Chain A
Amino acid sequence: MKLVNVVLVAMLVAGVAHAQKKSGLLSQVSGQGYGSAGCGFGSIVMGSDGNQVLAATTNGTSGSQTFGISTGTLNCQQDGIFKSGREVPAFIEVNKLALANDAARGQGETLAGLANLMGCKSSALAPAMKKNYNKIFVETNMQPAAIEANINAVVLQNNVCGA
């Protein structure tokens, strides 16, 4: 009877844990080859599947001081912290839906965060992005690098953010 209980509990926990693994944002983001663009952030962070992550774990236990996300060789991060100048593409990659909403509405927390990362005032960036929404978000399935390039173009043309 005791064994039966243990097995029952294990099964139900399995179901829960499995559901959790499946429904994460990660699987939605990483399933689309986002890894090839930007910093490959979405495909690397805290994944429970994929060799990159296991590689990171192995490094972490072999004694070298790597921390969590990092293998030390990623494009974007070292030791779980963004390298300087790499924050913007990673931010755009993970936040692109919310960023598009904010750009269309002309304000919002995500837009303010981006402005801060780009070192400019959101009161200057926001109206420029709203006005040029269609020039920034031209397709639905855009790579973050393309979004970033379009934002930079808008910033340059409109002479905002000290550009």
Chain B
Amino acid sequence: MRFSVLTFLFLIPGVSLATEASAQDRVLQISRSQKLSEDRQWRKLLHFERDTFFVQESQIDSPGFFFSKGGKKDPAAELEATIVAFFQAPPTDINEHAQCKFPARYRWLKEKLKNQNVPWKDLVCDRYLAFAKGLQGESVSLVFSSYYLNNPSSAFGHTFLRVNKSAGADGQRHELLDYGLNYAAESDTNNAFLYGFKGLFGLFPGQFRSIPYYYKVREYNNAESRDLWEYELDIKPAAVEMLIAHVWELGPAQIDYWYLTENCSYHMLSILEAADPQVDVLAHLDHYVIPADTIRVLWTKTSLVKRYKYRPSIRQVYFERGKLLNEEEKNEFAELVHQIRTQDEIYYGPSFQKRSSESQARILDAFIDFIDFQYSKEVQEAGREAQLKMRVLGKRSEISVQPQDIRIDPVPEERPHLAHSSGRWGMGYSQDTADRSWTLLTHRFALHDRLDPAWGYPTYSQITFFDLGFSYGDSFGDPGEKKFELENFAAFELVSASPWSTLIPDHSWRFKLGVERTRNENFLPTHEGILRLGGGWTFDYGSFDISAQVQGEVHYGPTLSDNKLWGGAGPLVELHYRWNSWWLWQAGLFYRRDSAWDRQDYFRTQIETQYSFSKTWGVRASYRNERFLEETSLQLFNYY
């Protein structure tokens, strides 16, 4: 086919050029008269959007993406230049022709002019065709990899698309063999500070890649123990083809990666919008795009999600296998766990040998998943545990019992698309024992704390990003005066209260980086930069859990006595109680020995509760008693 097209072009170049020139002119003429460059899909294909600085232009930053010099800013000029390029004679490598490099634009144009009898000269683009055949999808899923609490890197989650192949020869779908389409920053530095800085300010190029889905499953489900949620979208097969064609166009293109705005989620949606005119999601999103938010918006504000599927992490699978064991089997299991921790060989004692094959299979299956979860790194690196595991697998292979199917259907409260919105405004009132009172104003950019409605986020964690709190009211220095003050700023605050158990001895920890307004005996309240770090254990008792931790902190305050920089450390105990998903309590005791205060140590008791009327509104009350301060407050929160 390719050969015949080439032959045709080489044999009668004069004729073909003549007809092409006239066809080109006709297409140009129609595109002008029909104002095709104003078509929504054309603009979407060029990624013509309002960017971070509210400028209307294409978000693609590589010049190779445009045929016209001014193409980044001028969709009409770009359309004309593209049409001219489509009618050019093919170069030696046919894959370098405009039709082959921009198959989605070509499809779109042909579709727009399908009733105009344009004599199109379709080229056979072998590399693009191989790509399209490899992905070969019927439908598309948006995949969300959720947070895993002990891993702050998963704080916001990640989204990517998966093109779903049709069933194989055996009549079954093999999701692992699908391809995922991923957009991520291409880092060129190992310096952590530079990495964050460049990510935040759009200094990394972002790139689209196609990656086998099994690679993502191994990375998230197994290596990082994060759950995957797969949302199958209502995208017709023709639009899936368009999507693949468009992703091909973006393959060599570059888009600057912005950590908070033009990120993975944003561009997954932007390519969906380019592929399918029915999709309209970006308009529903805020200026900042958080992956978790996009899932919720898709679910609540569009009818795009056909169904969803939960793919549990190795951690969840292990928990589930553990639940299948009865008391005796649990003892056998514990014996195996003890051995892998302390011995270089696994012995199966007489009591194990006497058990039925079914029972042995159940115990070994749980044990295998336990090793994968607990020693994921060691097993990857073929360490001691990997050798023991291999022998356990050998033992398992001798037992001819099928493993039990593990199906996990998380309760609604755990489904990320049902989460509350991550932004939060608050207004309230506070008063202290000296009858001073203040109006409170707070705003949190993201994401979730442990008193927010317990929907869609992990129960045991708090991830606060850019939480600002202001007060307006009585001044400490001048009783008659009213003042507006910054009370609290948490650039980043994390609480990870993973419960400790003998089988999963997780630690719990907390971290805060920010500014607080602190009071003291002799000086006026002052602002101090604070870095706080705590670690310890959390014990889970069903609806409540208790954390016992040791906390250390560093304060920096330019106006506080001679010690601008000072530190303190001490224990804390915190109780978290969940009456239900709408009503939560938290109480804590904190003690701290300070390097700057030799007269009185810091001691604080605090109790807080929030009742949420809905996922949009909640009211929070708190009482705290600390050095030089006793205060109550009441706040109304709105999640948006």
- A interface residues with partner B (beta carbon < 8 Å): 4-5, 8-21, 23-26, 28-29, 32, 45-46, 48-49, 53-54, 57, 60-61, 63-69, 78-82, 87, 90-91, 94-95, 97-98, 100-101, 103-110, 112-113, 115-117, 119, 121-122, 130-131, 133-134, 137, 139-141
Please give 9 more A-B residue pairs, beta carbons under 8 A apart, in addition to A46-B211, A94-B215.
A9-B492, A65-B127, A65-B248, A65-B252, A79-B127, A81-B134, A97-B222, A97-B379, A137-B393
Nearest-CB residue, chain A, relative to B132: A81
**Beta-carbon contact of B176 and A107 below 8 Å:** no
In this complex, how many residues of chain B approach chain A with their Cβ under 8 Å: the count is 86
Instruction: Confirm or deny: B170 has a beta carbon within 8 angstroms of a beta carbon on chain A.
Output: yes
Question: How long is the Cα–Cα vector from A154 to B127 in the complex, in angstroms?
Answer: 36
Q: Which residue of B lies closest to A15 (CB)?
A: B192
Inter-chain contact B397/A130, CB cutoff 8 Å: yes
Q: For B514, what are the chain A residues with a Cβ–Cβ distance below 8 Å? A: 8
By beta carbon, the residue of chain B nearest A64 is B252
Query: What CA separation (Å) do A66 and B131 show in the bound complex?
Result: 11
Enumerate chain A residues within 8 angstroms of B212, measured Cβ to Cβ.
82, 90-91, 94
Say yes or no: A16 contacts B152, CB within 8 Å: yes
The verdict on B190 contacting chain A, using a C-beta distance below 8 Å, is yes
Question: Which residues of B are in contact with A by a Cβ distance under 8 Å?
Answer: 62, 64, 95-96, 100-101, 127-128, 130-131, 133-135, 151-155, 168-170, 172, 174-177, 179, 182, 184, 186-188, 190, 192-197, 199-200, 205, 207-212, 214-215, 218-219, 222-224, 248, 251-252, 254, 259, 361, 365, 368, 372, 377, 379-382, 386-387, 390, 393-394, 396-397, 400, 402-403, 466, 489, 491-492, 513-514, 529
Tell me if B170 and A122 are in contact (CB < 8 A). Answer: yes
Bound-state Cα–Cα, A110 to B221, Å: 13
Candidates B101, B134, B252, B381; contact of A61 at CB < 8 Å: B252
Are B402 and A107 closer than 8 Å at their CB atoms?
Answer: yes
B380 lies within 8 A of A28 (CB): yes
Chain B residues in 8 Å Cβ range of A95: 176, 214, 218
Could you tell me if A104 and B127 are in contact, using CB atoms closer than 8 angstroms?
Answer: no
A103 touches B513 (CB 8 A): no
Contact B251 A48 (CB under 8 A): no
A82 interface neighbour in B101, B134, B172, B188, Cβ under 8 Å: B134
- Name the residue of chain B whose CB is nearest to the CB of A95: B214
A79-B130 in contact (CB<8A): yes
Give Cα A87 to B214, complex, Å: 12
- B170, A13: Cβ atoms under 8 Å? no
From known contacts A61-B64, A94-B218, A104-B368, infer whether A137 and B390 are also in contact, taking CB-CB under 8 Å. Answer: yes
Q: How far is the CA of A14 from the CA of B100 in the complex (A)?
A: 39
Residues of B within 8 A of A11 (CB): 193, 196, 513
Partner of B218, one of A25, A49, A65, A101: A25
From the candidates A21, A26, A63, A105, name the one contacting B187 in the complex (CB within 8 A): A21
B491 & A9 in contact (Cβ 8 Å cutoff): yes
A67 touches B252 (CB 8 A): yes
| A28–B381 CB distance below 8 A | yes
Q: Contact partner of B186 among A48, A121, A122, CB < 8 A?
A: A48
**Smallest CB–CB gap between A112 and chain B, Å?**
6
CA distance A18 to B194 in the complex (A): 10
Is B251 in contact with A67, judged by CB distance below 8 angstroms? yes
State whether A104 touches B219 (Cβ < 8 A).
no
| Choice from B205, B361, B382 contacting A141 with Cβ under 8 Å | B382
Which residues from A are CB-within-8-Å of B254? 60-61
* Contact, CB under 8 Å: A69 / B403: no
Residues on the A chain within 8 Å of B381, using CB? 28, 32
Contact A69 B153 (CB under 8 A): no
Question: Nearest Cβ distance between residue B195 and chain A, in whole angstroms?
Answer: 5
| A18 and B195 contact, CB distance less than 8 A | yes
Which of these, B154, B177, B190, B397, contacts A106 with CB under 8 Å?
B397
Q: Which residues of A lie under 8 Å from residue B491 when comparing CB positions? A: 5, 8-9, 12
Given contacts A94-B212, A98-B222, contact A60 B252 (CB under 8 A): yes
A105 touches B218 (CB 8 A): no
Q: Complex Cα distance A63/B381, Å?
A: 39
State the majority secondary structure of interface residues on B.
Answer: helix
Separation of A67 and B210 alpha carbons in the complex (Å): 8
Contact (Cβ within 8 A) A97 B62: no
A116 CA to B381 CA in the complex, in Å?
A: 28
CB pair A79–B251 under 8 Å, yes or no, is yes
B330 to chain A, nearest CB (A): 20
Distance (Å) between the CB of B573 and the closest chain A CB? 27
Task: Tell me the smallest distance from the CB of A73 to a CB of chain B, in Å.
Answer: 14
Tell whether, in the assembled complex, residue B127 and residue A78 are in contact, meaning their CB atoms are under 8 Å apart. yes
Which residue among A12, A57, A98, A134 has the maximum number of chain B CB atoms within 10 Å of its CB?
A: A12
Q: Is the CB of B205 within 8 A of A57?
A: yes
CB-CB < 8 A to A53: which residues of B? 186
B197 touches A14 (CB 8 A): yes
Given contacts A17-B153, A28-B380, A79-B251, contact A113 B177 (CB under 8 A): yes
- Return the 4 tightest CB-CB contacts between A and B, nearest first: A14-B196, A67-B251, A68-B209, A81-B134
Which of A5, A23, A82 is close to B153, meaning CB atoms less than 8 Å apart?
A23
- Provide the bound-state CA to CA distance between A80 and B514, in Å: 43
Q: Determine whether the beta carbon of A9 is less than 8 Å from that of B210.
A: no
Let me know if A104 and B396 touch, CB within 8 A.
yes
A16 and B513 form a contact (CB under 8 A)? no
Residue of A nearest to B396 (CB): A104
Q: Can you identify 22 A-B contacts, CB atoms within 8 angstroms?
A: A10-B197, A11-B513, A12-B196, A13-B196, A13-B199, A24-B223, A28-B377, A48-B186, A49-B187, A65-B252, A67-B208, A68-B209, A68-B210, A79-B130, A87-B177, A94-B215, A97-B222, A103-B393, A103-B397, A105-B397, A106-B397, A115-B170
Q: In the complex the two chains form, is B393's CB within 8 Å of A104's CB?
A: yes
Closest A residue to B394 by CB, please name it: A134
CB of A104 within 8 A of CB of B101, answer no
**CA separation between A8 and B608, bound complex, in Å?**
28
Residues of B within 8 A of A137 (CB): 390, 393-394
**Known contacts being A24-B223, A29-B380, is A16 close to B155, with CB within 8 Å?**
yes
Distance A141 CA – B372 CA, assembled complex (angstroms): 16
Closest to B172 in A: A112
Taking a contact as CB atoms under 8 Å apart, the answer to whether B223 and A67 are in contact is no
Chain A residue with Cβ nearest B168: A116
Give the complex CA separation of A22 and B130 in angstroms: 34
What is the CA–CA distance of A113 and B213 in the complex, to the nearest angstrom?
11
Q: In the bound complex, how far is the Cα of B197 from the Cα of A52, in angstroms?
A: 24
- C-alpha gap A23/B393 in the complex (Å): 26
Which of A21, A68, A101 is the one whose CB lies under 8 Å from B207?
A68
Instruction: Tell me, in angstroms, the Cα distance from A27 to B211 when the chains sit together.
Output: 16
Give which listed residue, B176, B196, B368, B379, contacts A113 with CB less than 8 A: B176
Hey, which chain A residues are within 8 Å of B192, CB to CB?
Answer: 14-15, 17-18
Is B390's CB under 8 angstroms from A65's CB?
A: no
Shortest CB distance B221–A (Å): 9
Q: Identify the closest chain B residue to A10 (Cβ).
A: B197
Known: A28-B381, A68-B210, A69-B210. A109 touches B176 (CB 8 A): yes
How many angstroms from the CA of A88 to the CA of B133 in the assembled complex? Answer: 18
Q: Do the beta carbons of B382 and A140 come within 8 Å of each other? A: yes
| Closest A residue by C-beta to B188 | A54
Contact B224–A112 (Cβ < 8 Å): no
Instruction: Point out the residues of chain B lying under 8 angstroms from A13, CB to CB.
Output: 196-197, 199-200, 259
